[in-house]
Chain A
Amino acid sequence: MKILIIEDDQEAAAYLAKALREVGHVVDHAADGLDGYGLAEAGEYDILIVDRMLPKLDGLSLIRSLREQGVSTPVLILSALGQVDDRVKGLRAGGDDYLPKPYAFSELLARVEVLARRRGATAESEPTRYQVGDLELDRLSRRVTRAGADIELQPREFRLLEYLMKHAGQVVTRTMLLENVWDYHFDPQTNVIDVHVSRLRAKIDKGFERTLLHTIRGAGYMVREPNARDAGAREAGRSA
């Protein structure tokens, strides 16, 4: 993927660029809002990572201008302002996702990959059925089957599985689950998400030799077909 980082903090930008290159992305860097706007407007990037506070042209104005110019490249906003309203402002300006600083690189990477995938998916309408291995989820009839057998899920468990399967093969972090399945952006203090995921896992993986719902240590979760090895995923083990 080709990624543009617009960030005035040289050290933070260098760290981020290096980490993204290590996992195989092509990265450009702009140190102020105007340079960033110039590069982004050409539209050759898959993802823009934009800091909110930028010299010459601030992040939100930059995004707004890009959207007005019809540039629809997905934007991940980074900000030291991680509070409730800042996120809303960022998304309203045309950002696609919002990540408060400091962030874990795994969190950023997971979000970047989901954003990039979403871009590809926008052209075709969302499928009504997801299938991973022998696990199937029908969004219309709200049925879930594994190896042909029905699995009873609570509404929230269904949405959790739906989100995981929609991003099958991609790492999904706990924060992303809390944001997208529960629509909350706060710090839940405890491992609430883990408990929900492990319950879901008990329903879909229990009794099957091949597990589909994996814990990616230090990052989050991933639903993946057995044997399909994803280069970006660093599976280190799983917990029950």
Chain B
Amino acid sequence: MSGFGNLFRTTAFKLSLFYLAVFAITIFLTLGYVAWNAQRLVHAQMISTIDAEITGLAEQFERGGTRRLVGVVNRRSRSPGASLYLIATREGRPIAGNVEALSPELLARVGQHNIEYERVGDDGRPARVHRAIVRIYHLPGGNRLLVGRDIEEQQRLGEIIRRAFGWSLLLVGVFGGLGGWAVSKRMLKRVEDMTATTQDIMAGDLDGRLAIKGTGDELDRLALALNAMLDRINELMTGMRQVSDNIAHDLKTPLTRLRNRADEALRNATTPDELRSALESAIEESDNLIRVFNALLMIARLEAGNAVDLTAECDAAEIVSGVVELYEAVAEEAGIPLEAAIEPHLPVHGSRELLGQALANLIDNAIKYGDSREGGNMAGPITVTARRNGDRILITVADRGPGIPAEDRERVRERFVRLENSRTRPGFGLGLSLVNAVARLHEGDFRLEDNAPGLSATLDLPASGNA
């Protein structure tokens, strides 16, 4: 029952019904027009035949009077498929012809009439009553001449057309209905399949996809679009799951360390100094965790994109030289020269704080990971350049360290991704994610490239208009 209910509610079924009605009306009008025209044509032909006969008979009458006319009528009456003829006296008594006697009142009315008549049978007995169209003519001397055509044929034609009419309507109804039902059912089945698949996906079968029939119709296109959407959602969810897995993992390690130290201090520390130092290291560890959360929150807010006012204009040259100056001492301490080549006045729209932070992360990374001495080479240098290229401002931090393999360059921008060889160093793998978020927020680009050897990290920002 509800299945039928569904069927009647489908768009396809409603469309079918609509087309069915339009089709039926079309057939009605077409057949009606044909029938009307055919009837009219046949009628006109009859009239002209009758007129021709009357003209002919009138000629005969003029030539040979009643006698000749009677002869001609009798001859014509006997030929097959003959018209109707009657010559009668003023009183209605038949003289010649193939029609039984008609009332004198009828015969008195000159002109065209639609009458019922009986044909004179071959055996002399009257046949059944027919309808005819006749023309009545008064001969000089008072006799009546009637010429006509049976219209039984014409009526049968009408009957045939009416029947064809009925059948067509019936067939259109049956086939149209069936067709509509089939199309709707097929449509309904596909839509129901889609609904079922969607429900499966919602229930947790995240790899489920809608079936594609390959016909390229609108349902296929819809299914393709929905599948693409599901793929994208899956991708995002996987990313998210990875991030939360990473968060859980990367935060668990320092928390465990924190807990173990506190536990150990509780068991083994005896002097206030020992307890104090255990507490201090616990605080330090928690501070690190807080920094991680701050960085995470900051990245999330930057990615949301509405938290920071970026209308202020700042000078990238000033930012770069400031941050370089801040890190110069650290680099020197680490034994890596930090060299800077900064073009003067590089205006960008954005946040001095965020750009400074991004650059600080890059330089900090270069100092931490750009040390090539493990490979036996000379250390550094780290070069920081800031220059203008058309309407772009390019800030590059390049080191001579081991670099990042091409296949990992995309991945390292994600949160908490740390490459194997950096696992042993301090850090949480958020630095480049933050740089990436800052670049995107400033409608810029963040590129990691091969410095052959080493890594070249570039912030590519749009220069502000009034340079």
Task: Flag whether B364 is at the interface (Cβ < 8 A).
Answer: yes
- The majority secondary structure among interface residues of chain A is loop
Q: Which residues from 341 to 355 on chain B have a C-beta closer than 8 Å to any C-beta of chain A?
A: 351, 353-354
B411 to chain A, nearest CB (A): 21
C-alpha gap A46/B1 in the complex (Å): 81
Task: Flag whether B307 is at the interface (Cβ < 8 A).
Answer: yes
Q: Mark B374-400, 1 if CB is under 8 A from A, else 0.
A: 000000000000000000000000000
B contact residues around A190 at 8 Å (CB)? 330, 364, 367-368
Task: Flag whether A238 is at the interface (Cβ < 8 A).
Answer: no
C-alpha gap A122/B353 in the complex (Å): 28
Q: Which of A100, A182, A195, A217 contacts B333 (CB 8 A)?
A: A195
B326 touches A218 (CB 8 A): no
Q: Which of A83, A192, A218 contacts B283 (CB 8 A)?
A: A218
Interface residue count on the A side (C-beta < 8 Å): 24
B contact residues around A88 at 8 Å (CB)? 309
C-alpha gap A184/B368 in the complex (Å): 21
Q: Mark B290-328, 1 if CB is under 8 A from A, else 0.
A: 110011011001000001110000000000001001110
B291 touches A182 (CB 8 A): no
Q: Which of A84, A156, A189 contacts B354 (CB 8 A)?
A: A84
A182 touches B357 (CB 8 A): no
B330 touches A83 (CB 8 A): no
Most chain B CB within 10 A, of A83, A156, A189, A191, is at: A189
Known interface pairs A84-B353, A186-B356. Does A192 touch B295 (Cβ–Cβ under 8 Å)? no
A123 to chain B, nearest CB (A): 33
- The majority secondary structure among interface residues of chain B is helix
A95 to chain B, nearest CB (A): 17
B364 touches A83 (CB 8 A): no
Task: Flag whether A199 is at the interface (Cβ < 8 A).
Answer: yes
Q: Which residues from 390 to 420 on chain B have a C-beta closer than 8 Å to any C-beta of chain A?
A: none
Q: Which residues from 200 to 234 on chain A have a C-beta closer than 8 Å to any C-beta of chain B?
A: 217-218
Q: Which residues from 92 to 130 on chain B have a C-beta closer than 8 Å to any C-beta of chain A?
A: none
B contact residues around A218 at 8 Å (CB)? 280, 283
A contact residues around B325 at 8 Å (CB)? 156
A186 touches B308 (CB 8 A): no
A182 touches B326 (CB 8 A): yes
C-alpha gap A82/B361 in the complex (Å): 18
A189 touches B308 (CB 8 A): no
B309 touches A85 (CB 8 A): yes
C-alpha gap A188/B367 in the complex (Å): 13
Task: Flag whether B287 is at the interface (Cβ < 8 A).
Answer: yes
Q: Which of B283, B322, B354, B367 contacts A182 (CB 8 A)?
A: B322
**Interface CB pairs A-B, < 8 A, 28:** A83-B298, A83-B307, A84-B307, A84-B308, A85-B309, A104-B283, A104-B287, A184-B322, A184-B353, A186-B353, A186-B354, A186-B356, A186-B360, A187-B291, A187-B294, A188-B364, A189-B360, A189-B364, A190-B330, A190-B367, A190-B368, A192-B326, A192-B327, A192-B330, A195-B329, A195-B330, A218-B280, A218-B283
Given contacts A104-B283, A184-B356, 20 further A-B contacts (CB under 8 A): A83-B297, A84-B308, A84-B351, A85-B309, A102-B290, A156-B325, A182-B326, A184-B322, A184-B353, A185-B353, A187-B295, A187-B357, A188-B360, A188-B364, A189-B364, A192-B330, A195-B329, A196-B326, A217-B280, A218-B280
User: A residues near B, CB below 8 A?
Assistant: 82-85, 88, 100, 102, 104, 156, 182, 184-192, 195-196, 199, 217-218
